[in-house]
Structure 1
Amino acid sequence: MDKPISRFNVPALDDLPDDIRERILAVQDKAGFVPNVFWALAHRPDEFRAFFAYHDALMEKPSGLTKGEREMIVVATSGINQCQYCVVAHGAILRIREGNPLIADQIAVNYRKADITPRQRAMLDFAVQVSNAAHMVGPEDHARMAEHGFSDEDIWDIGAIAAFFALSNRMANLTSMRPNDEFYLMGRMPRDSEA
């Protein structure tokens, strides 16, 4: 690639600790490429480990939220936080998780006009509030979420994902993290009806 993926030094694969090198190679085997967030955060191995441990705890566990809904939270809050990396990368994942080539762009630009359910809109309203004005969250917000069928654990998950990706958005902007070219086309074409 002719453009840097981070403003900071990106270590060579052979220079990384074994556990980080193994994680990067596993991601490459699964995805066919290494998302640049792995390279950029490998600049600081201890922070890499902490970041991905929390990411996995939030995004990969069983939850009252679907994996697609968790990606909706990432894309909506990242759009509001003007994080190009997370909108592009997680937009690709959202398109794939939902099998919908339109949804990520709709949510990134203005989730309030996206083709989502009222429950999902309430989820994103809450996530955006946590991301940008968490000090304003009060009992009425929790009550509104409960009216849409969200449990206390779901509310925690929504808030934690929004808060974690607020950190991620800020680090991506700090480092000038560049999205991989591969992300732009992922999930853009509708799935084959025969598949």
Structure 2
Amino acid sequence: MANIFVRRLFLASSHLTSPRWGCLLLAKRTEGTARVRPFSSEPPETISRYPVPYKKDLPYDIVELMEEVESKGGFLPNVFKVLSHRPAEFRAFFSYYNELMNKETGRLTKADRELIVVATSVHNKCLYCVVSHGALHRIYSKNPTLSDQVAINYENAELGPRERAMLDFALAVCRADTITEQHFKSLEDAGFDREDAWDIAAIAAFFAMSNRLAHLTDMRPNMEFYNMGRVPRDKSNHKAGKDGDK
């Protein structure tokens, strides 16, 4: 499946992507367990209040996915480890995530979708999602400061009318406000249609659940997220290094 989860959620500083996320998520559970090393016999940090399974105890398709994400991105985001506590729910969670965040239809950009997650996760006080999706917004928008502004107060952030209307609607859904025709009109005035409204609302609703799972488990962000996308890569030095290897 070309439209894959790893494109969006977990990118290392090299911004590499994984080619097979969707098919792995939707794969039928493989019989038996994978014979590979556990994550760690002595975890160096606590990332969840629930037990994190050893790799050897997980279904093979989930282990294969984790190893692919870690190989391509440079690290394994903690959400994979934490949610693997319940493999069937892990698959359902990421399958729906993939449908919401990786679709190519509609008027929402990748950066738009990440900004919705940041703004609604701030309202829900979710550290993990604010940090991780703030990192992704920096990468997709190439704007190293906007997600931080939104994380403090989106109403004071340097947003254009389009982004502001989008976040106003997302927060109305997040707060469970009564949605009226005026909400849709405000979106339409900013260039969105009713299908876009569904996308905005679905992202806000899905991450309301995700935020609460993060609260339940006390999920902690990987340290790698904090610096991602803040300083542009020096492409000239990268090219010079490659030329020097010739």
TM over 0.5, yes or no? Answer: yes
- Which of 127, 134, 151 is 1:91 aligned to? 134
Matching residue of 1:107? 150
* Alignment map for 1:112-191 (pairs within 5 Å): 112-134=155-177, 136-191=178-233
Higher helix proportion: 1
Report 1 or 2 for greater relative contact order, CA contacts < 8 Å, sequence distance ≥ 6: 1
TM-score by length of 1: 0.95
**Please, which of 62, 73, 77 is the counterpart of residue 35 of structure 1?**
77
1:190–1:115: structure 2 CA closer, same or farther, 3 Å change rule?
farther
Aligned to 2:12: none
Q: Which residue of 2 aligns with 1:9?
A: 51
User: Structure 1 regions of 5+ residues with no counterpart?
Assistant: none
Deviation at 1:107, TM superposition (A): 1.0
The match for 1:50 is 92
C-alpha displacement of 1:84: 0.2
Q: TM-score, normalised by structure 2?
A: 0.76
Q: Distance in 2 between matches of 1:30 and 1:152?
A: 36
Q: 1:2 offset after TM fit, Å?
A: 3.1
Cα distance in 2, alignment partners of residues 192 and 141 from structure 1: 43
Distance (whole Å) between structure 1 residues aligned to residue 136 and residue 231 of structure 2:
13
Equivalent pairs, count: 194
Matched residue SS, 1:133: coil
Larger Rg: 2
1:73 to 110, 116, 123: 116
Shift of 1:191: 4.4
Q: CA deviation at 1:100?
A: 1.2
Aligned-residue Cα RMSD (Å) equals 1.4
Q: How far off is 1:180 after superposition?
A: 0.3
What is the CA distance between 1:193 and its match in structure 2? 7.2
Query: How far did residue 192 of structure 1 move?
Result: 3.9
